[in-house]
Amino acid sequence: METQNTYRSFNAEKTIEELQYKMLQYNTTLESFLVEYSFYMHLLKSQVFRPNVINLFEYLERFKKTLAHHETSTKNLIVEISSHNNQITKK
């Protein structure tokens, strides 16, 4: 006997105001991530760490690249959330 997975949208019963509130929460969370990313990048660029330590320096450089990638992804998500919120508002 096979179980059948049926798709149920959990957003079907929610009002537009609830969906907008949830999008606002996501947007606020992502914007706080951007602030944290900029703080980390500022900290990493401040040369507090000694560049003579090769392993640490290489690790920090990789971490900078990873942070930059996450920052770009977060900005893209904020744009998508804003677009989705506008679509919800127009319905």
86 in a structural domain: yes
Residue 82 domain-assigned (yes or no): yes
Q: Region 33-57: what's the mean pLDDT?
A: 79
Residue 39, in any domain of the structure:
yes
Residue 22 in domain: yes
pTM, 2 dp: 0.64
**Which residue's entry shows tokens 């019963």?**
13
Residue 70 lies in a domain: yes
Position 1 in a domain = no
Helices (H), the chain: 16-45, 54-90
Output phi, psi for 12, to 5 deg. -65, -35
Sign of CA dihedral 62, 68, 69, 71: positive
In terms of residue numbers, what domain contains 23? 16-90
In a domain, 69, yes or no: yes
Better pLDDT: 78 or 47: 78
Task: Give me the number of domains the chain comprises.
Answer: 1
pLDDT tens per residue across span 32-42: 999 999 998 88
Establish if 6 belongs to a structural domain.
no
Q: What is the pLDDT of residues 23-34, one digit of tens each?
A: 899 999 999 999
- Which conformational region is residue 13 in: left (phi greater than 0), alpha (psi within -120 to 50 degrees), or beta? alpha
Q: How many CA atoms lie within 13 A of 86 on its CB side?
A: 6
| pLDDT given at position 2 | 67
